[in-house]
């Protein structure tokens, strides 16, 4: 008597699922607060100098791989619109002031730049 042995070959495909990790290659934005500036107040008398108003301009800031979503100026309390690219600062008397611009891009990256403004009376020598 002959016995038959049957083998059933069952091929089950193996599916490998690979989940790619999302890598964020965000390039930080570039903050440009402007050039450091010396302002001659042209005071011609010995009276108390009047405060002046200046404009800060961070509109040349950019993001190489996205868009800028916020601006923030910090420094003296006289900043009229701290969340705008261009703003005014009031109440500056002779002295040196630093204003910091922080820009943030659409992916949350941020960077800073500082601009220094020196207000000097025009009839007095500038001493470093």
User: CA-to-CA distance for 37 and 122, rounded, in angstroms?
Assistant: 14
pLDDT surpassing 80 at residue 43: no
What pLDDT was estimated at residue 76?
Answer: 84
Confirm whether pTM is higher than 0.85. Answer: no
Q: Residues 126, 47, 40, CA angle at the centre, nearest 5°?
A: 30
pLDDT tens-place string over residues 15-25: 444 444 444 68
Identity of the highest mean pLDDT range in 22-26, 101-105, 123-127: 101-105
Q: What mean pLDDT comes out for the span 1-13?
A: 55
Ramachandran area for residue 95 (φ above 0: left; ψ -120 to 50: alpha; else beta) = left
Q: Is the pLDDT of residue 5 over 80?
A: no
Question: 4-8, 30-34, 119-123 — which one is most confidently predicted on average?
Answer: 30-34
């Amino acid at each position: 008597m002959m016995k038959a042995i049957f083998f059933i070959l069952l091929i089950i495909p193996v599916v490998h699922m690979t989940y790619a990790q999302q890598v964020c290659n965000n390039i930080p934005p570039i903050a440009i607060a402007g050039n450091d500036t010396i302002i001659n107040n042209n005071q011609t008398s010995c009276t108390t100098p009047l405060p002046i108003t200046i404009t800060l301009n961070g509109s040349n800031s950019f993001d190489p791989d996205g868009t800028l979503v916020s601006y923030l100026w910090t420094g003296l309390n006289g900043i009229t619109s701290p969340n705008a690219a261009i703003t005014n600062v009031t109440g500056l008397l002779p002295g040196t002031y630093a204003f910091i611009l922080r820009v943030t891009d659409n992916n949350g990256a941020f960077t800073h730049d500082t601009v220094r403004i020196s207000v000097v009376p025009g009839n007095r020598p500038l001493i470093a």
